Structure 1
Amino acid sequence: MARINDHPNSWRKNLTVLWFGTFMAGIGFSEVMPFLSLYVDTLGNFSHDQLSLYSGFAFAATYLVTALASPFWGKLADRTGRKLMLVRASAGMAIVFFLMGLVTNVWELIGLRLLQGVFSGYISNANALIATQVPKSKSGQALGTLVTGNVSGTLLGPLLGGILASLFSYRVTFFITGFLLLSVFFLTLFLVHEDFKPVAKTMMLSTRGVIKRLTNSKLVFGMFITTMIIQAANNSIAPILALYVRQIMHNSATTTFYSGIVAAVPGIATLVAAPMLGKLGDRIGTDRIIIIGFFLAIVVYIPMAFVTNIWQLIALRFLIGIANASMLPAVQAILAKNTPFEVTGRVFSWNQSFQAMGNVAGPMIGSVISSEFDYAGVFISTAVLVVLNLILVYNNTRVMRKNRA
């Protein structure tokens, strides 16, 4: 059974290393996104429809496999330790990225993107390891800090990827990303410490047994759905964001530049706000923080549909970043505070599966809504998603409010 590390400050050292690891993992996953479809185009002579189809396969493949593979890795983490899963994920990602730079056709690339999903789990296991080591009273602050690693890496990744691809080539960029992830492997192997007592395979709980160990399974599974809807809402506008900027700016020559700013602003706000909101949640209640975040998101998404200039959109996107800083870290903290140590790996891996499903569903929702209505309709539908999520979370956190009273 896992137990908290004997040294009261050991989790702080792990948090520092894992922050860097999740930062690099965020860069690794997002760095190739700006040119993935362009890379696909170099692997054959495709029609416009074929290029769109293969690019979509390449993008979605990783998330689909992640959703399926995460529960397996979570169960293994509870039996063998979270550090081993961190080492496995970082080594696997490094190898896959090296190989992506060597592919000769689109099916090899799609196959490796599928394999990348198999080697998922670094971020979820980093969350699980910190959740099992940090005192419950500080879990909001610690997990809020940890989430900024992935957010900032995801924020800087596309910029770094674009620069590297421009200076070198698509293939060299994959190699460089592989080296970055290899550094994560060595740092994790030598600097992350986990006091873990392996659980015999015969003593492992079944899925039903894990659910029985949860003191509030309704709350935990409600947080899974919440994670999926948050990710779907955040990603629903991804397919049309640059097009919306172009529409607002009336096909200005600076559309690409401002599209990058609009895309990056929420990440900057989340990076700044998440640790502070996590600490505040530990003091006044994490459930209060997440509900405030939902209200803020609803208030912000609706006017986004009616902006008349780019600066209005940038300001509203900044506020969305603050809302995000109060939602996803709060979900992680609520899971940490309501999950026994011995099943933390599986609970966080299940949450990652729902997050991956949201990553797949969000762009699909946005594409369908924008084609049936218009760009403004995507923001309105996203606000509706957030309202449904608010109702779900308010009902599921009723017990937390009663206990606090």
Structure 2
Amino acid sequence: MTDVPTTPAFPAPPARERGYMSISIAIGSGAFLASFAMNFWWPFLPLYLRDIGATSDANALFWVGIATSVQGVARLVTGPFWGVLSDRYGRKLMYIRALYAATLTTAIAAVAHAPWVIVVSLTMQGLFSGFIPAAIALTSVSVPDHKLDRALGVVTAGQYLGGTLGPAAGAGMALLFGFRGAIAASAILPALSATWIIFAVPRDVVTARVARVATTAAGSGRRLSVDWARGFSRTFWVAVCLYFGLFALNQLIRVATPIALKDIAGDDRASALSGAAFTAAGAGSVVGVLVVARAIGHWTGLRGTLIALTLFSALAAPVMAFGGNEWVFIAGLLAFAIANGASMPATNAMIASTVDTARRGTAFGLASSAQAIAFMVGPMSAAYFASTSLTVGFAVAGALFVLLAVVVALFSRPVESAAEPVS
């Protein structure tokens, strides 16, 4: 499909023009708390499963695999559906819905009495939550387009910061209050985020044209099933492909890292080194979002930024593959985390900038489905290379980053956010 012009974005009201950063921080703080909560209990999930009925460590990991796989399939199926509804009824409403749903599904996990209840909990998360795509879609229609890169950087930084701090806080809470107490505490945070968003973020505008199209489509199930996916440009689909690739390769590298460090440094040091590696990577992701993406984007624009950052990720992968030393490996992981973190707001901005404002909810719903597939493909790839050769796996990841850069360079068009208004 060739590129087609998109409808110009809705002009930002003066108040929104002046207050875009406070809106971005409000949405980003919600993403931070929700991501913090979701990562609160994830590291000790296998141990919790042993407490509620898993018969062995292997059996606990089996239930984790079942739960996450079903969650991924659920997100894959429902992501576009929630996106279409957000364009019809409002992105703020869908963000709030996703946050409250995260509280409900986490509460189910807190009262689980058997491993299958965790499968139910994560399946419901996949069906009804998905707060990060909703946060990005809301941001994309709540700030002026020429501020979009910076605003999405704030939201992405909140997500990464929550993911970095959550596991440490969750471990401390588990020591104080047990596994159930820690999970119950984390269940409260998304609801607090949702309540905060209700008052802190203005309601986004759904135009009469969108409402008419949605109403007409709703009258015909066949037409709705066909029309919602039409009209996106080739550059948009390239951006979604890049979105998938970034998440899949990130998952491959993250899942493989503890095993790679064990192979390099031995069992005795693997746990401590993994903790240091992931802490450094989390900090690097935040630096990438807030500093590197803006610095590079000032000179190259969105498309050039993504090509440069993807190639930088390709250079970091061989360092992890052939470094031969744990500290060299961690340095390569840090470099990769900076580049990968910086790539995410730029990719989100590229998706938003190639789509009519009225359809950004649908666009990020499709991106959510691509992310769901990536979360299944990445760990499976890591498992395959762990059984063959992690060195080859990291090298393949580097080659795939080069391929992604080539795809962006050859098959997308230059995309820029709207220019700063002249005062």
| Pair in the same fold by TM > 0.5 | yes
Paired with 2:293 and 2:59, the residues of 1 have a C-alpha distance of 45
Deviation at 1:47, TM superposition (A): 4.2
1:202 aligns with 2:215: yes
Paired letter, 1:231: F
1:365 aligns with 2:381: yes
Structure 2 alignment gaps of length 5 or more = 1-6, 218-222
Pick aligned residue for 2:179 from 170, 175, 180: 170
- Aligned match of 1:94: 103
Pick aligned residue for 2:357 from 341, 349, 352: 341
- Aligned match of 1:34: 43
Paired letter, 2:135: A
Q: Give the conservation status (yes or no) of the 8 Å contact 1:4–1:132.
A: no
Q: How many residues align?
A: 398
Deviations 1:145-165 (A, max 9, x none): 211111111111111111211
Paired with 1:351 and 1:195, the residues of 2 have a C-alpha distance of 20
Matches within 5 A, 1:173-192: 173-192=182-201
- Aligned match of 1:238: 254
| SS of residue matched to 1:312 | helix
Matches within 5 A, 1:192-271: 192-197=201-206, 199-200=211-212, 201-203=214-216, 206=224, 209-210=227-228, 212-214=230-232, 217-252=233-268, 254-271=269-286
| SS of residue matched to 2:161 | helix
Segment drifting more, 43-52 vs 53-62: 43-52
Paired letter, 1:256: S
Paired with 1:48 and 1:163, the residues of 2 have a C-alpha distance of 22
Deviation at 1:207, TM superposition (A): 6.2
Paired with 1:249 and 1:283, the residues of 2 have a C-alpha distance of 40
Deviation at 1:48, TM superposition (A): 4.8
1:386 aligns with 2:401: yes
Paired with 2:226 and 2:130, the residues of 1 have a C-alpha distance of 22
Q: Give the conservation status (yes or no) of the 8 Å contact 1:228–1:355.
A: yes
Deviation at 1:337, TM superposition (A): 1.2
Deviations 1:267-286 (A, max 9, x none): 21121221334434255311
Pick aligned residue for 2:120 from 111, 119, 123: 111
1:396 aligns with 2:405: no
Paired letter, 1:172: G
Paired letter, 2:328: Q
Segment drifting more, 309-318 vs 218-227: 309-318
| SS of residue matched to 1:46 | coil
Deviation at 1:393, TM superposition (A): 1.3
Paired with 1:327 and 1:51, the residues of 2 have a C-alpha distance of 34
1:63 aligns with 2:79: no
Paired with 1:365 and 1:389, the residues of 2 have a C-alpha distance of 17
Which consecutive aligned stretches of 4+ in structure 1 deviate over 6 angstroms post-superposition?
none
Paired with 1:311 and 1:20, the residues of 2 have a C-alpha distance of 33
Matches within 5 A, 1:318-329: 318-329=334-345
Segment drifting more, 323-332 vs 226-235: 323-332
Does the C-alpha gap of structure 1 residues 297 and 278 become closer, same or farther in structure 2, counting only changes over 3 Å? closer
- Aligned match of 2:149: 140
Deviations 1:66-117 (A, max 9, x none): 1211111000000000111111111111111112111111111111110011
Paired with 1:5 and 1:136, the residues of 2 have a C-alpha distance of 8
Does the C-alpha gap of structure 1 residues 340 and 206 become closer, same or farther in structure 2, counting only changes over 3 Å? farther
Paired with 1:400 and 1:188, the residues of 2 have a C-alpha distance of 30
- Aligned match of 1:46: 55
Deviation at 1:208, TM superposition (A): 5.1
- Aligned match of 1:160: 169
Paired with 2:166 and 2:146, the residues of 1 have a C-alpha distance of 33
Deviation at 1:35, TM superposition (A): 0.7
Paired with 1:357 and 1:212, the residues of 2 have a C-alpha distance of 21
Paired letter, 2:156: V
- Aligned match of 2:89: 80
Paired letter, 2:197: T
Q: Give the conservation status (yes or no) of the 8 Å contact 2:305–2:346.
A: yes
Does the C-alpha gap of structure 1 residues 193 and 240 become closer, same or farther in structure 2, counting only changes over 3 Å? same
Pick aligned residue for 1:310 from 318, 326, 351: 326
Structure 1 alignment gaps of length 5 or more = none
Deviations 1:121-173 (A, max 9, x none): 32112111221232222211221221111111111111111121122211111
Paired with 2:44 and 2:337, the residues of 1 have a C-alpha distance of 25
Pick aligned residue for 1:23 from 32, 40, 43: 32
Segment drifting more, 12-21 vs 200-209: 200-209
Paired letter, 2:177: F
- Aligned match of 1:295: 311
Deviations 1:292-348 (A, max 9, x none): 111111111012112232221221111112211332111101111111111010001
Q: Give the conservation status (yes or no) of the 8 Å contact 1:96–1:112.
A: yes
Segment drifting more, 384-393 vs 292-301: 384-393
| SS of residue matched to 1:305 | helix
